[in-house]
Every structure is written in structure tokens, then in C-alpha cells.
């Protein structure tokens, strides 16, 4: 277990009790995502946390693989799914790369509130492109901290990580993230931002 795993295991219970920061925005994300989902689809969410979004989407697809690096988060997710009588989610402790889904096997891949925590975004995008079927959908929601004064977190994060107070955090701008998505072989269908100084960016893209 590395420091990031330990951090998320340690905050899992508190994270699960934390209310959604903006319910209207969250419902918009769910609604827009579900326009690209259908009952015959197999999808994957990496960085699923405690499974809230996967559970919301479960009735709209055939099956969801929900991945996270925190076993404590996953345990909460499994319990939430059980309580909601949702049986078509498989929770697994893994990163997207470790999971090794079959090539062109998935209809949609979701990476929500996780991209800015991953050091190698190109490897993630390449893997998403590999495992999606042609025309498949990639949905991401991430903090683009380079858009604001939060960009200075790049100097604070390494100290916070060593002290066990923060996970890995990586800085990018909205323009940079959108360009990386298109360069990886996707066409952006929807893109909008919200939150403090518009740092939270939601993008739906189709694999070319």
C-alpha cells in the first residue's frame, strides 16, 4: 500500500458522509452522462470512490466495473450497492492500468474527480482508448487547477503528501486537458466548467 492508498483509506468514512458540493451540478452530470448510456452497455468507472455515481448509473446499463485504489472506499461502495439492491456492479481494488480490461470491450469509461490525482494522464488516455469500442464514450470530471490560484498547490502537495495530509495532486489547465483528450483520438461532444474560478471541468468525448 502506498501513501495515496493509505490517505484514501483513512478518509473513506468521512468522505462517504460528505454531501455533494452542488446538487444541481451533480444531477446535470448524471443526466448528461445517461444520454450516452443504454441497457445493453458494459461500462467501467475508475476512481469510483464509495460508488455513488456507479449506483446512479447502474439501472441504465448492463454491467459496471467500479475500480478504486482504496479498499475502505470499495467496502462502503459494496454496502451501498447492497442496500440499494443493485447487483450489476463489480467493485475491484485496482487502477485502470492494473485492471487490464480486454481491448475494445467497453462501451463507456468514466473517470470522475480522479484525473488530477494521476501522474501519467497520457497512459490513462491511451488505456481508455484501448479498452473502448470504436465510438465508445469517455466521460471525465476533474479539477483543472492550472486555471486559477490553485495552481500553486503544485508546491504544497508534495509536503502535504509526506505528512499524510494530502494525496498526489497534479496541475493542468482546462485547455491542456481538452487538447490531451483530442490528441489521444477522441472527439469532444460536451465540455463545461463550474465551481470556484471554473476549475472543475466536465467533458464527454467519443472515441474516433
Measured between alpha carbons, how far apart are the two ends of the chain, in Å?
Answer: 36
**Sheet bearing 132-143, strands edge to edge:** 89-93, 63-68, 42-46, 106-112, 132-143, 200-207, 186-194
> And the C-alpha cell for 59?
439501472
Over residues 1-40, the pLDDT tens digits come to 455 677 777 877 887 788 888 999 999 999 999 999 999 9
CB 203 within 8 A of CB 177: yes
Mean local confidence (pLDDT), 108-113: 97
Over residues 130-186, the pLDDT tens digits come to 999 999 999 999 999 886 545 555 545 444 445 444 557 788 999 999 999 999 999
pTM score, two decimals? 0.88
SS3 43: strand
Tell whether the model's pLDDT for residue 85 goes beyond 50: yes
Q: What value does the mean pLDDT of the chain take? A: 89
Residue partners of 19: CB distance under 8 A and separation at least 6 = none
Predicted pLDDT at 155: 44
Tell whether the model's pLDDT for residue 192 goes beyond 80: yes
Over residues 90-110, the pLDDT tens digits come to 999 999 999 999 999 999 999
Predicted pLDDT at 186: 98
26 vs 46: CA distance, rounded Å: 18
63 vs 61: CA distance, rounded Å: 6
Amino acid at each position: 500500500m502506498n501513501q495515496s492508498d493509505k490517505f484514501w483509506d483513512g478518509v473513506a468514512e468521512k468522505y462517504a458522509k460528505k454531501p455533494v458540493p452542488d446538487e444541481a451540478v451533480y444531477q446535470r452530470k448524471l443526466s448528461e452522462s445517461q444520454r450516452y448510456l443504454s441497457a445493453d452497455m458494459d461500462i467501467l468507472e475508475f476512481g469510483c470512490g464509495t460508488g455513488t455515481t456507479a449506483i446512479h448509473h447502474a439501472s441504465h446499463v448492463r454491467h459496471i466495473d467500479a475500480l478504486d485504489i482504496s479498499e475502505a472506499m470499495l467496502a462502503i461502495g459494496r454496502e451501498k450497492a447492497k442496500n440499494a439492491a443493485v447487483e450489476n456492479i463489480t467493485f475491484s481494488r485496482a487502477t485502470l492500468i492494473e485492471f487490464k480490461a480486454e481491448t475494445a470491450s467497453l462501451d463507456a469509461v468514466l473517470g470522475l474527480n480522479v484525473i488530477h490525482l494521476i501522474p501519467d494522464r497520457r497512459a490513462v488516455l491511451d488505456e481508455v482508448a484501448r479498452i473502448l469500442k470504436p465510438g465508445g464514450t469517455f466521460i471525465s470530471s476533474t479539477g483543472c487547477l492550472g486555471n486559477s490560484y490553485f495552481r500553486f498547490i503544485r508546491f504544497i502537495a508534495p509536503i502535504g503528501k509526506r505528512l499524510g495530509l494530502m494525496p498526489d495532486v497534479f496541475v493542468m489547465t482546462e485547455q491542456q486537458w481538452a487538447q490531451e483528450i483530442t490528441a489521444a483520438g477522441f472527439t469532444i461532444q460536451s465540455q463545461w466548467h463550474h465551481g470556484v474560478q471554473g476549475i472543475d471541468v466536465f467533458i464527454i468525448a467519443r472515441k474516433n
